[in-house]
Amino acid sequence: MTDESVEAFRLRAREFIRANLKPLPRDESYSPLRNTRTTDEEELASVKRDREIQRMLFDAKLAGICFPTEYGGAGLTPAHQRAFNEEIAGYEYPSRFQAPTLSPCAGVLLDFGTEEQKQQHIPAILKGEELWMQFLSEPSGGSDVAGALTSAVREGDEWVLNGEKVWTTGAWFSDWGLCLARTNWDVPKHRGLTVFIFPIHQQGVTVSRIEMINGSQDFCQEFLDDLRVPDSDRIGEVDGGWTVGVRWMFHERMLMNSPLVTVPVGVGNRGALTSSIVDVAREVGRIDDPDAHDIIGEARTLELVKEKLQARIGEGMATGKMSDQAAAIGRLFGGTTGVRLYTLAFDLAGSTGVAWSDADGLARYCGEDFLMRQTGAIGGGTLEMARNVISERVLAMPREQALDRDVPFRDVPRGGAART
């Protein structure tokens, strides 16, 4: 069906969605930043439902809309994915499969995986059989991804991994990990990295859950202790992990505008979109307040600019008029806008944003969202990193000075004992 028109696809998707998926209440959207699940059992039930929906979409040829047909995808265009995003708005969808399973993980597999790896994992992902996580951030590294201390030492046809990863959303209920590790300490940091994949729940991997300020425990920290990974589960070349990593981070920055994922229209900022802000104004009795109208107007303006900017960046990269690094522009504006939208919603909620009950509708989320607002400027690469990418790789400004650029990583000063 690779020649199916966008309109025919839209009608087919609409018919399937209306017949098979449940409408969602306006305030029902998955986010690890909100403690909306009261028990692990309820969370696991939601994960199970996501797997079921993903399989239903696969069977209806509505999964992996822009993935190649040889790996189980539909082989269609970004325009088809946009039509699907519009049609599924307001209905349940497999949210946990979008990030990071489909992007960046499946995107990295498509770009750098062997044919055997693609055939094994892409269809399984599209069928809902495999949930993936990215093992990227480390406790000691912050946004310096290339400063990874997790080590991988080769022993015959296997690699032995030791180290720690952190801020892995949902690792406790997921299946596979995409992991960046250090394989060479005698070259500058960017040249000694390699990417591996492995099942999460096995000997050598310990997953520890982190409790956030709002009680959510979806974020995790992982400890790798003599984890043995076959060389057949290596992604890309040995010591070539930075090449993989650059594309990996491209997929991460492109997430909300990626043709690989489903992002229903109206979901982007989880509770801070204009429609939600209007509901907050109504719930707290400010729908006729001129000051509230100013807040709603600013929110809508930011939303429109973000939509148009993402469309322009996507078209520019697709036509070759912009480099792939231009994705950082969307990341910067999206992160900045998200912080501002949560702030606007909190201002609108007033006292309800400070003290709330379950009866306060969407307004009950405004306080927690405000407290957690900066996570959108940190997770997925900080906004400072996005600014660096824009200045150096998009605008071709002089590179930021780095004293460790040509220094073997073993000799770079850092806190704690060096791993060898």
User: How far from chain centre, in Å, is Cα 249?
Assistant: 10
3-state secondary structure 198-233: EECCCCCEEEEECCCCCCCCCCEEEEEEEEEEEHHH
CATH number for 268-394: choose from 3.30.465.10, 1.20.140.10, 3.20.20.70, 1.20.1530.20.
1.20.140.10
* Length in residues, the chain: 420
Residue 176 has a pLDDT of 98
Residue 418 has a pLDDT of 45
204 backbone dihedrals φ, ψ, rounded to 5°: 100, -10
pLDDT band at 138 (very low <50, low <70, confident <90, very high): very high
* DSSP track, 149-179: --EEEEETTEEEEEEEEE--TTGGG--EEEE
Q: What is the mean predicted confidence (pLDDT) over 124-137?
A: 97
Pairing of strands 205-209, 176-182: unpaired
**What's the pLDDT tens digit per position in 7-23?**
999 999 999 999 999 99
8 Å CB contact between 91 and 24: yes
Flag the least confident range among 121-135, 275-289, 401-415.
Answer: 401-415
Flag the least confident range among 47-61, 287-301, 327-341, 352-366.
Answer: 352-366
Please tell me what DSSP assigns to residue 418: P
8 Å CB contact between 36 and 362: no
Residue 417 has a pLDDT of 46
3-state secondary structure 279-318: HHHHHCCCCCCHHHHHHHHHHHHHHHHHHHHHHHHHHHHH
User: For residues 267 and 329, which has the higher predicted lDDT (pLDDT)?
Assistant: 329
Structure tokens at 20: 């098979």
Q: What is the mean predicted confidence (pLDDT) over 40-65?
A: 96
pLDDT > 90 fraction of the chain, expressed in percent and rounded: 67
Residue 416 has a pLDDT of 53
Task: Please name the residue that has the structure tokens 């400890």.
Answer: 223
Dihedral of the CA atoms 36, 87, 133, 183 (nearest 10)? -150
Q: What is the mean predicted confidence (pLDDT) over 355-382?
A: 85
User: For residues 362 and 52, which has the higher predicted lDDT (pLDDT)?
Assistant: 52
Q: What angle do CA 21, 24, 26 make, to 5 degrees?
A: 155
CATH 1.10.540.10 domain extents, the chain: 7-130
In a 13 Å sphere around the CA of 66, the CA atoms on its Cβ side amount to 20
User: For residues 157 and 304, which has the higher predicted lDDT (pLDDT)?
Assistant: 157
pLDDT at 420 > cutoff 50 = no
8 Å CB contact between 120 and 93: no
* Average pLDDT, rounded, for the chain: 90
Please tell me what DSSP assigns to residue 265: T
8 Å CB contact between 71 and 122: yes
Q: What is the mean predicted confidence (pLDDT) over 157-172?
A: 96
Residue 26 has a pLDDT of 61
Task: Please name the residue that has the structure tokens 């900045």.
Answer: 336
Q: What is the mean predicted confidence (pLDDT) over 73-85?
A: 95
pLDDT at 31 > cutoff 80 = no
Residue 419 has a pLDDT of 47
pLDDT > 70 fraction of the chain, expressed in percent and rounded: 93
Instruction: Give the span between the Cα atoms of 230 and 196, in whole angstroms.
Output: 9
pLDDT band at 270 (very low <50, low <70, confident <90, very high): very low
| Alpha-carbon radius of gyration of the chain | 22
pLDDT at 217 > cutoff 70 = yes
pLDDT at 35 > cutoff 60 = no
Q: Which amino acid is at 398?
A: P
* DSSP track, 323-384: -GGGHHHHHHHHHHHHHHHHHHHHHHHGGGGTS--GGGGGGGGHHHHHHTGGGGGTTTS-HH
Strand partners for 179: 135, 196
pLDDT band at 161 (very low <50, low <70, confident <90, very high): very high
What number of other Cβ atoms are within 10 A of residue 387's Cβ?
13
Is CATH 1.10.540.10 the classification given to domain 7-130?
yes
* DSSP track, 85-135: HHHTTTB---GGGIIIIIIIIIHHHHHH--HHHHHHHHHHHHTTS--EEEE
Please tell me what DSSP assigns to residue 400: P
**What's the pLDDT tens digit per position in 294-335?**
999 999 999 889 888 988 998 898 888 998 899 999 999 989
Instruction: Give the span between the Cα atoms of 193 and 25, in whole angstroms.
Output: 45
8 Å CB contact between 322 and 313: yes
User: For residues 261 and 314, which has the higher predicted lDDT (pLDDT)?
Assistant: 261
Flag the least confident range among 30-44, 52-66, 79-93.
Answer: 30-44
Pairing of strands 151-155, 205-209: unpaired
Fold of the 134-244 domain: Butyryl-CoA Dehydrogenase, subunit A; domain 2 (2.40.110)
pLDDT band at 141 (very low <50, low <70, confident <90, very high): confident
Spell out the residues 6+ positions from residue 353 whose beta carbon is closer than 8 angstroms to its own: 345, 346, 363, 366, 367, 370
pLDDT at 201 > cutoff 60 = yes
Residue 34 has a pLDDT of 61
Residue 2 has a pLDDT of 78
Question: Between 241-253 and 327-349, two packed helices, what is the crossing angle to 10 degrees?
Answer: 40
